[in-house]
Amino acid sequence: MRSAAAGSCRVQPFTSRQVRSLVAQKGHASRYGVRAAAAPTYDLDPDNASILVCGGGGVALHVTRKLKDMGSWVWQLQRTDVRRSEIEKMMAIVAKGDALNKEEVQKVFDSIEDVDAVVSTIGGTVANPTVDSQGNINLIEAAVKKGVKKFILVTSIGCGETKDAAGEKVYEVLKPVLVEKDKAEAVLKSHADKMTFVIIRPGGLTNDPATGKAVVTSDMSVCGSISREDVASLVIKALFSKKADNQVLSAMDPAKMMPNQAAPAPFAL
């Protein structure tokens, strides 16, 4: 019998519209596989996996919906009850708590008998980006303690080796958030000997319908926009693909690349 209770969140990476707005206001705006000691082997069956999804809405809601359609047991971490009805209509369980509160995060993990995997899309704002680092770090450390098999962290193009992909102006506008996301990525990688991870860095997020053509790539030099639903689909593919294990990948729609950038070679999940 699986038990549940308690979660947190704020949102995830920035929309293309938000970036353009911030750039206007200010006047300026992966390839990467970690070779570390291997985490314990694991098997995830989507029809019976127990998964904690951490995110307020957007990508996280799409992930929860798709996982439930596959037959997974899903808990979604929520800081408030605003989306409780929507989540429960999917037959998922609301885990109430704040990712910035270590005690609440621990209670969430303690309340679930088995947690096979965690997906985190949580993020803050340029004005208040603390959750991008400390919120995710709290989740990562609790997941390691729980013995979680796999952790997928959704951050943003502009982090790490993709710093130059979106251009200097965009990076400078989003720098407060990206610097904090970098910290969370570093902590997650440091636990690669205990827990398999995947880091997915989407480009500018949109609310457009899914195209089904979005890709992940190990090319760190490119950037494009992508719908939230397409990000969710790629997250789920990565979750159940061992090819993605311990990889850092950018996500975008090849038809929505930044000017003068060619579509990247896709990473096969």
Provide the edge-to-edge strand list for the sheet that holds 117-120.
93-96, 73-78, 50-54, 117-120, 150-154, 196-202, 247-252, 215-217
Give the C-alpha separation, 139 to 133, whole Å.
10
3-state secondary structure at position 139 = helix
For 109, the token pair is 């993990």
Which residue matches tokens 């053509």?
A: 213
Nearest to 131 by CA among 183, 166, 75: 183
Cβ(205)–Cβ(225) under 8 Å? yes
Contacts of 97 (CB under 8 A, 6+ apart): 6, 7, 8, 77, 78, 79, 104, 105, 107, 108
Separation between Cα atoms, residue 199 and residue 184, nearest integer Å: 10
pLDDT of residue 16: 45
**Residue 7: what pLDDT?**
36
Tens of pLDDT, residue by residue, the chain (269 residues) = 444 433 333 334 444 444 444 444 444 333 344 444 567 778 899 999 999 999 988 999 999 999 999 999 999 999 999 999 999 999 999 999 999 999 999 999 999 999 999 999 999 999 999 999 999 999 999 999 999 999 999 999 999 999 999 999 999 999 999 999 999 999 999 999 999 999 999 999 999 999 999 999 999 999 999 999 999 999 999 999 999 999 999 999 999 999 999 999 999 99
Q: Are 129 and 177 in contact (CB under 8 A)?
A: yes
